[in-house]
């Protein structure tokens, strides 16, 4: 399993979703399906290049009660987000 450091907290990543090349709403659809398989407090990493992804995932996490731990763009212009299941 992969581990990352987010806000001085070591996070264990349970799974990664590569949604690059997919556009709204598909990255969020894939995230929702993956979170349904996880237990509470488990974290999924999602990669996406949809220009609206940051706004979409922020809104979706607020509506779903799942926790957006971080979202940022990497050097390849890919958004990398970490979501913790509620």
- Residue in the block written with tokens 């398989």: 37
Residue 27 pLDDT level (bands cut at 50, 70, 90)? very high
Q: Which H or E run contains 83? A: strand 79-84
Strand partners of residue 10: 5
CA angle 50, 31, 54 (to 5 degrees): 35
| ω into 25 cis (within 30 of 0) | yes
* pLDDT tens per residue, range 53-81: 999 999 999 999 999 999 999 999 999 99
Which residues are identified as catalytic? 24
Supply the pTM of this predicted model: 0.95
Give the pLDDT of residue 39: 97
Residue 1 pLDDT level (bands cut at 50, 70, 90)? confident
Query: Rounded to whole angstroms, what are the CA distances from 74 to 18, 31, 33, 77?
Result: 14, 19, 24, 5
Superfamily of domain 2-84: TusA-like domain (3.30.110.40)
């Amino acid at each position: 399993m992969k581990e990352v450091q987010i806000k001085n907290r070591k996070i264990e990543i349970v799974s990664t979703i590569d949604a690059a090349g997919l556009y709204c709403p598909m990255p969020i659809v894939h995230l929702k399906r993956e979170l349904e398989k996880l237990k509470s407090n488990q974290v999924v990493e999602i990669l996406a290049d949809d220009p609206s992804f940051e706004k979409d995932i922020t809104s979706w996490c607020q509506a779903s009660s799942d926790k957006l731990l971080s979202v940022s763009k990497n050097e390849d212009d890919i958004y990398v987000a970490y979501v913790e299941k509620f």
